[in-house]
Amino acid sequence: MTDAQYANWLADLSAPRIVLCELDYAGGTEYVSTHPYISQPTDSAPNRVYDDLLMEAVDIETRIDGLISFGEITLVDDGEITHWVDRAWQGHGIRLYLGGPDWSRDDFRLHAIGINGGIMSARRGEIAFEMTDQSAVFDEPIDTGSLPDDAGPVPLALGSVYNAPAYRTSDGTQYEYKASYLPCVSLTPKEGGSTTLNVTNHPSEGRFVLDAPVLLDLTVDIKEQHNTPTKIAEWVADYYGKEVAEISLPDYTVCLYYNGEVNGRQILAALPGYWYFDRLDRLVVRQHAIPTSADVTLFDDDIEYDQIALSETQPPWKSLTLNWGRNYAPLSQVAGAVEDENATEAARLRREWSESKAEQSLPDYPLAEDVTRESCIAEATDAATERDRLLAIRSVRRDVYSIDAFMPVVEVGQSIAVEHPRLARKLGRIISVSRSPTRGTTSIEVWV
DSSP 224-291: -S--SHHHHHHHHHHHTTPPEEEEE-----BEEEESS--BHHHHHHHSSSEEEE-TTS-EEEE-----
d(CA 320, CA 390): 8
Domains in the chain, number: 3
Please check whether residues 130 and 58 belong to one and the same domain.
yes
Q: Which of 173, 202, 223 is the last residue of a domain?
A: 223
Q: Which of 103, 138, 173 is the last residue of a domain?
A: 138
Please check whether residues 126 and 154 belong to one and the same domain.
no
Please check whether residues 12 and 92 belong to one and the same domain.
yes
Q: Which of 196, 223, 250 is the last residue of a domain?
A: 223
Report DSSP letters for 46-102, one per residue: TT-EEBS-EEEPPPEEEETBS-EEE--EEEEESSSSGGGGGS--TT-EEEEEEE-TT
Please check whether residues 87 and 45 belong to one and the same domain.
yes
Render each residue's pLDDT in the chain as its tens digit; 448 residues: 888 888 788 777 778 888 999 999 999 999 999 999 999 999 999 999 999 999 865 667 677 765 666 777 899 998 999 999 999 999 899 999 989 999 999 999 888 788 898 999 999 899 999 888 767 789 899 999 999 988 899 999 999 999 999 999 987 778 999 999 999 999 999 999 999 999 999 999 999 999 999 999 999 999 999 999 999 999 999 999 999 999 999 999 999 999 999 999 999 999 999 998 876 778 999 998 899 999 989 888 888 888 999 999 999 999 999 999 999 999 999 999 999 999 999 999 999 999 999 999 999 999 999 999 999 999 999 999 999 999 999 999 999 999 998 865 788 889 999 999 888 878 999 998 887 766 667 889 999 9
Please check whether residues 21 and 98 belong to one and the same domain.
yes
In a domain, 362, yes or no: no
d(CA 251, CA 244): 18
Please check whether residues 75 and 108 belong to one and the same domain.
yes
Structural domain harbouring 436: 296-314+397-447
Dihedral Cα 313, 319, 323, 325, nearest 10 deg: 130
Please check whether residues 159 and 88 belong to one and the same domain.
no
In a domain, 378, yes or no: no
Please check whether residues 302 and 203 belong to one and the same domain.
no
Tell me the pTM.
0.82
In a domain, 259, yes or no: no
Please check whether residues 125 and 98 belong to one and the same domain.
yes
CB 441 within 8 A of CB 404: yes
Helix (H, G, I), strand (E, B) or coil at 391: helix
In a domain, 119, yes or no: yes
Please check whether residues 134 and 163 belong to one and the same domain.
no
CB 109 within 8 A of CB 88: no
Please check whether residues 30 and 113 belong to one and the same domain.
yes
In a domain, 331, yes or no: no
In a domain, 358, yes or no: no
In a domain, 268, yes or no: no
10 Å CB burial of residue 403 (0-12, 13-18, 19+) is buried
CA–chain centroid gap for 342, Å, is 40
Q: Where are the beta strands (DSSP E) in 278-422?
A: 283-286, 296-299, 303-314, 317-324, 354-359, 369-374, 398-405, 415-419
C-beta pairs of 204-210 under 8 Å, 24+ apart in sequence: 206/154, 206/157, 206/178, 206/179, 206/180, 206/181, 206/182, 207/169, 207/176, 207/177, 207/178, 207/179, 208/166, 208/176, 208/177, 208/179, 209/174, 209/175, 209/176, 209/177, 210/175, 210/176, 210/177
In a domain, 35, yes or no: yes
CB 133 within 8 A of CB 68: yes
